[in-house]
Structure formats: C-alpha cells, structure tokens
Amino acid sequence: MEAISILAFIFTAVAISYWWLWRQRIFDKPWVEEGTEADDRETIGGGLATANTALFAFLAVVTSLFALFISAYFTRMELNDWSPLTEPSSLWFNTGILMLASVSVHWCTRTINKTTYKAMLLATGVFTFGFIWGQYAAWQQLWAAGYYLNTNPANSFFFLFTALHALHLFGGLWVWTRATFRVFTEVDVEKAKMSVELCRTYWHFLLIVWLVLFALLLST
C-alpha cells in the first residue's frame, strides 16, 4: 500500500505540473496570430523566450521532485529490510539509446538542411520510444526473476524511479509529436522552431536525470 500511495502522489504531482505548464501557454502557436511574416517571426522569438522561462521553472519543480525521492532512497536503504537490487544489464543499452535521442534532437536544431532536420526529428522520437520500450523490457526481466514491486524496498524504488522518468519522457513526446506534425505539414519549418528547441532542452535535462538515477542504482 505504501508503494501504491507513492505512485499515486507521483502521478498527481506530474499531472498538476503539466497542467500548470499548459496554463503558461508553453504549447501555444504564436505564429498563427494575424500579422506580417516579420511580425510572426518576432512573435516566435518572444514566445520562445517566454516558453523557455516557463520550461526552466517547470524543470526546477521536476528537479526538486527527483531530489526528494533520491533523499528518501538514501534514508530508506539504512533500514534492515533493504536488499540491493541487481540491475538488468539492458539498462546500459537503454542509456545509449537515450543518449542518441538527445544527440539527434540537438543536431536537429543545429542543421539548416530541411531533409536532415526532418530525419533527426523523427530519429529523436524513434530513439525515445526505443528507450521506453527498453525500460519496460527491463521490468519484464525483473518480474521473470521474481523481483516485484512489493518484494523489497529497493525493488520499489527502482520501479518508481524508472516509471517517473518514463512518464516525463511521455510528456515530452507529446510536444515532439506536435512539433513533428508541424514540420511535415507546414511549408516553413521555422514555424516549429520553438517547440523543437524546447524539446532539445527537455531531452538534455531528462538525459542528465537518467544518468544520475542510473549511477545511483548501480552504486547502491
């Protein structure tokens, strides 16, 4: 019941965070407003600055959330019923895939070639979905070996950390889906610039978070 309560708290906190992000109009399309092309580009620039501010505020909240759970992790492992979990070796492969996703979205924002832009944007989604699928496969390996959520506190934290991280990736994939749709349906790729640049920042952040969590799990 304790693990279920923690999960419920996580999903509630994330839902509230994304609702707040939506309220900040981070997902709006400022270029749709009426005006000249020059005015549209100025609006995009201003919208990007505002969206970046909202995104960094959101990332600060997410960082605090992960920090609280990491603190709880260290506190909980001091008790006698703690038994270290043997992490699946597939997590190394999954980490490599997430790195590729981060590299591809970064490359996407750096290229001026439209074909490369589209290819890198699609690759970002493919690698990200591959990482999430790989994490689920790691869960299946643990279940097959008898490591269940309530078997041991270490197991619970492993599932909680990976689930929370994957949940944030799913949130990012929603923005990625909208950005990709714009790129492949709009004549001017510049119209998707704001969303793609936000995705770049978000993917880099989640890569760092995962590397911290992975190192923590491996070392304890």
Q: Which amino acid is at 85?
A: L
φ/ψ of 86, rounded to 5, equals -85, 110
What mean pLDDT comes out for the span 205-216? Answer: 92
Please list, residue by residue across 195-220, b when 16 or more beta carbons sit within 10 angstroms of its beta carbon and e when fewer do: bbbbbbbbbebbbebbeebbeebeee
- What local confidence, expressed as pLDDT, does residue 47 receive? 56
CATH number of domain containing 98: 1.20.120.80
- What local confidence, expressed as pLDDT, does residue 29 receive? 44
**Confidence category of residue 43, pLDDT binned at 50, 70, 90:** very low
Compare 197 and 210 and report the one with higher pLDDT: 210
Which domain covers residue 158, as residue numbers?
A: 2-219
Pure H helices in the chain: 2-23, 37-76, 90-110, 114-144, 153-185, 193-219
Q: Are 127 and 101 in contact (CB under 8 A)?
A: yes
| Number of neighbours of residue 72 by Cβ within 10 angstroms | 13
130-142 confidence digits (pLDDT tens): 999 999 999 999 8
| pLDDT of 35 over the 60 cut | no
- What local confidence, expressed as pLDDT, does residue 188 receive? 59
Structural domains counted in the chain: 1
What mean pLDDT comes out for the span 87-91? Answer: 89
**Confidence category of residue 49, pLDDT binned at 50, 70, 90:** low
Specify the range with the lowest mean pLDDT, choosing from 1-5, 15-19, 44-48, 75-79: 1-5
Please list, residue by residue across 40-60, b when 16 or more beta carbons sit within 10 angstroms of its beta carbon and e when fewer do: bbebbeebbebbeebbeebbe
Compare 94 and 192 and report the one with higher pLDDT: 94
61-74 confidence digits (pLDDT tens): 888 889 888 888 88
- CA-CA distance, 202 to 195, in Å (whole number)? 10
Q: Mean pLDDT across the chain, nearest whole number?
A: 79
101-126 confidence digits (pLDDT tens): 999 999 988 887 888 888 999 999 99
